[in-house]
Structure 1
Amino acid sequence: MGIAGPVRPVRVILAAAAGLAAAAVFGAPALAHVEVEADNTQAGARDVTLTFTGEAESSSAGIKSERVVLPAGISPQDVRLAKAPSGWKLSPNADGFTVAGPALKVGQDAVFAVTVAQLPSDATELAFKTLETYSDGKVDRWIEIPEAGQPEPANPAPVLKLKPAAAAPTSASPTPSSAAPTPSSAAPTTTDHANASDNTGVNKGVWISLVAVAVVAAVIVASVLRRRRPTR
């Protein structure tokens, strides 16, 4: 009996602590979020697949749609559905898109993926405000933008951090073209051949003239000699 006295207060304290812990756990609001991941987080990347996970928080209804507001630099026409729960389809909106279909089971997260043609090249992070609708009509609005140095807001929008864009390739300066090849030798001239031909022609003309003169002289001499012969 002497031992039971001091033990009882200890049990009471432990029971009270357990009760407070249980109250803190079950009384705290569910910290469900919508998360986004990418297979390429480099700014300016093309054909990037974004995977969204909408965590279920209702204990009585299933998620039936996810409406995403696109950040600046991405248009609804640049997005196509890559993966979604069975029966869900993508519909473009004026400022984003909606992926919806038959309500999921209670407690089942909504996981879907879209492919974006190109991420903005000058952004460091992208916020995708998301409205999550349940089969009972309840809408969770994950649209608050977290700010650096501030506590996380109650309903944060999914944010994708980006790496800097790849440096644009610098075009190599054109190498100077090699100098135009100079002619290896001057084109052969025909001056010498022409001169040779002219000389040959002159020489032939001189000889012909001399022969003609000799022939004429011989004829004249013969004629003179005939006239001087005495007649018989």
Structure 2
Amino acid sequence: MFTSPCTARRISAAGALALTALFVSAAPALAHVEVKSDTPQALAQNVSLTFEAEAESDSAGITEMRVVLPEGIDPAGVTLQGQPKGWKLKAGADGFTVGGPAVAVGMNAVFTVKVPQLPDADELAFKTIETYSDGKISRWIEIPKGDEKPQQPAPVMELKAAAPGASPLAPSPSASDTPAPAPATTSAAPAAPAPEAADKDEESGGNTGLLVGGVVIALLAAAGVAWWALKRRSGTPQN
């Protein structure tokens, strides 16, 4: 069968396109980390955040995920709700780390945390660093800008506008805000007597003085009477 040059060129072009499509579909998708929420709304309270890190190693499993929280979320208020078996949460100065035994090779690492409240923002970026059992580290920390698509983008979550009347939660008091107790004193000044007690003491002292004075006067009177009687007896003439 004779094939014209034009037909041959069309067949070759079609074959090249099909081969290119085959290679594109067979190429693995770029691994990344995603974050989702049950309540993606600004100032929402008690919000669950689910992180999923796609496996990108054929020989090692993910052992740890370190997340840098956006401003407005206190790491101390984050609690772990769901995680791979044996993984635990540890809060840090700017975020938290969840990790433990390596997940199975080729399996995504998925965990869920709860935060007290989301900040008032249009979107939130959660810079994430994942570690594998062979020591490999993937840093998903680049913030997308406009139409730019970074090679290792940080997980970003868009938020709805805050509900009417929603407001930020008041921060919990810290240890430094609590007034220190007054130091205990080793000695105390003698307490002043109550007015009633002082009056009673004065009254008691006055009564005692009057009593002593009365006794002295009585003794003097008795002595005078005795002296007069003796004198009278001594002056009486004898028969």
Interval of TM-score (by shorter of Structure 1 and Structure 2): 0.5 to 0.7
Partner of 1:19: 19
Cα 1:70–1:17 shift into 2, 3 Å: same
**Equivalent residue letter for 2:124:** L
Match of 2:153 in 1: 156
1:32-47 correspondence to structure 2 within 5 Å:
32-47=31-46
Residues in 2 aligned to 1:83 and 1:11: alpha-carbon distance in whole angstroms: 55
Structure 2 segments unaligned to the other structure (5+ residues)? 167-239
Provide the residue aligned with 2:64 in structure 1.
65
Deviation at 1:76, TM superposition (A): 1.2
Structure 1 residues without counterparts, runs of 5 or longer = 170-232
Give CA deviations for 1:27-70 in whole Å, capped at 9, x if unaligned: x5632221111111221121111011111122222211111001
Q: Which residue identity lines up with residue 157 of structure 1 in the other structure?
A: A
Identity of aligned residues (%): 57
1:47 to 1:6, Cα distance in 2 relative to 1, 3 A: same
Cα distance in structure 2, aligned partners of 1:150 and 1:2? 51
Secondary structure of 2:21 counterpart: helix
Deviation at 1:166, TM superposition (A): 2.4
Describe the superposition over 1:111-137 as per-residue Cα deviations: whole angstroms up to 9, x where unpaired.
1000001112x2221111000111221
Residue 127 (structure 2) pairs with residue 144 (structure 1): no
Q: Report the Cα distance in structure 1 between the residues aligned to 2:118 and 2:87, rounded to whole angstroms.
A: 24
- Measured in 2, the distance between the counterparts of 1:17 and 1:43 equals 47
TM-aligned CA deviation for residue 12 of structure 1: 4.5
In the superposition, the TM-score normalised over structure 1's length comes to 0.63
Computing the radius of gyration from Cα coordinates, the structure with the larger value is 1
| AA aligned opposite 2:116 | A
| 1:81-100 alignment, distance < 5 Å | 81-100=80-99
Secondary structure of residue in 2 paired with 1:104: coil
Residue matched to 2:199: none
TM-score relative to the length of structure 2? 0.62
What value does the CA root-mean-square deviation take over the aligned residues?
Answer: 2.4
Q: Distance in 2 between matches of 1:42 and 1:9?
A: 57
Asked if residue 30 in structure 1 is aligned to residue 29 in structure 2, the reply is yes
Whole-angstrom distance in 2 between the partners of 1:158 and 1:146: 9
SS in 2 for 1:36: strand
Cα 1:37–1:7 shift into 2, 3 Å: same
**Alpha-carbon separation, structure 2, partners of 1:104 and 1:153:** 27
Residues 1:20 and 1:76: Cα distance change in structure 2 (over 3 Å): same
What pairs up with 1:171-210 in 2 under 5 angstroms?
Answer: none
- Distance change >3 Å, CA 167–CA 17, structure 1 → 2: closer
Q: Which amino acid letter does the alignment assign opposite residue 135 of structure 2?
A: G
Q: Which residue identity does 2:39 align to in structure 1?
A: N
Cα distance, 1:165–1:10 mapped onto 2, change above 3 Å = closer
Tell me how many residue pairs correspond in the alignment. Answer: 166
